[in-house]
Structure 1
Amino acid sequence: MLDRDPARLGEGTPSTNKLLVSDFYRCVFDAHNPGAVKEFVHEDYVQHSRHLPPGRAGLEALVAGSFPDGPIPTPEEPSIPPSILMGEGDLVVIAAALPQPGGEGGTYLRYLYDAYRVRGGCLCEHWSGVDPHNRPVMP
């Protein structure tokens, strides 16, 4: 069980909300674990990005389809550490720098962001910065 005790962290503070988002990525995506979605995502989850499936069930299906080998052990640290993790009020923005293939065998960093609204200790809304017509190459 994750230590997100509101008495220790302060329910709904920017620090608590940033920890929630960071743990969500580590415990769901890094651990390839669709079952962990329920621990982090509100049942009325609103997906504002049309290229992603709606609702909590849609997110669970996306994770299950993306990681058929899962779940795997949850890592202690994120596989892709955030380059930016900002919280203000009930909003959290997280961004990561992903190396992308460039011309002539080189690479460049592509920054991708996600934004979340937190309610009652769960993620309740999501906005994605991924262009569905130009998806990044994942490491």
Structure 2
Amino acid sequence: MSGAGQDHRVKFVLDAFDTLFNKRDYAAAERLWSAQYIQHSAHIPPGRDGLFDLVKGLPATLRYENHVAAASGDFVILHGRFSGIGAPAAWVVADIVRLEDGMLAEHWDVIQDEATQAQSRSGLPMFGDRFPA
């Protein structure tokens, strides 16, 4: 796939994440997530409704920020941070989504609590170039 096609898919998924997690525009998100959405995450109930219901139950302070994104074929991987989730630490997440027919069709993730500087054995932040405050 060309770089332009990859960029389009990355932009699509980033826009979808912004629509759902930051804007909480569920009507618009329904046009981005397939009704047959397959959820592999251990933290999220099945299907599109499971994801949307999870987001609806999270605090209004929820915020998604992206650090790195890449595409290969129908797959897009995002390395991002979910903050304001109502937990002591933000989540740093690798989200992998599969696109089909112009929609998010399937999802996997790897989730870690964001480490503070005192907790980081590498001495480097997990997200971006700064440790959490």
If the length of structure 1 is used for normalisation, what is the TM-score?
Answer: 0.64
Identity %: 26
The corresponding residue for 2:107 is 126
Gaps of 5+ in 2: 84-89, 116-131
Instruction: After superposition, give the CA deviation of every residue in 1:78-117 in whole Å (9 maximum; x if it has no partner).
Output: 862x221000100000002579xxxxxxxxx974210000
The corresponding residue for 1:33 is 25
- Which of 42, 48, 51 matches 1:50? 42
Determine helix, strand or coil for the equivalent of 2:69: strand
Counterpart contact for 1:93–1:114, Cα < 8 Å: yes
The alpha-carbon distance between structure 1 residues 63 and 110, as it changes in their structure 2 partners (threshold 3 A), is: closer
The corresponding residue for 2:98 is 117
Determine helix, strand or coil for the equivalent of 1:125: strand
Determine helix, strand or coil for the equivalent of 1:114: strand
Counterpart contact for 1:44–1:124, Cα < 8 Å: yes
- Which one-letter code corresponds to 1:122 in the other structure? M
CA positional deviation for 1:22: 0.5
Decide which structure has greater strand share. 2
- Which of 60, 63, 85 matches 2:52? 60
Counterpart contact for 1:42–1:123, Cα < 8 Å: yes
Give me the whole-angstrom Cα distance separating, in 2, the residues matched to 1:112 and 1:57. 21
The corresponding residue for 2:127 is none
- Which one-letter code corresponds to 1:30 in the other structure? N
Counterpart contact for 1:34–1:61, Cα < 8 Å: no
- Which one-letter code corresponds to 1:44 in the other structure? Q
Gaps of 5+ in 1: 1-9, 71-77, 100-108
Q: Pick 1 or 2: higher relative contact order, CA cutoff 8 A, min separation 6.
A: 1
Give me the whole-angstrom Cα distance separating, in 1, the residues matched to 2:45 and 2:22. 19
Instruction: After superposition, give the CA deviation of every residue in 1:9-57 in whole Å (9 maximum; x if it has no partner).
Output: x8xx322211111001111111123333202101110001122111011
If the length of structure 2 is used for normalisation, what is the TM-score?
Answer: 0.66
Instruction: Work out whether 1:94 is the aligned partner of 2:78.
Output: yes
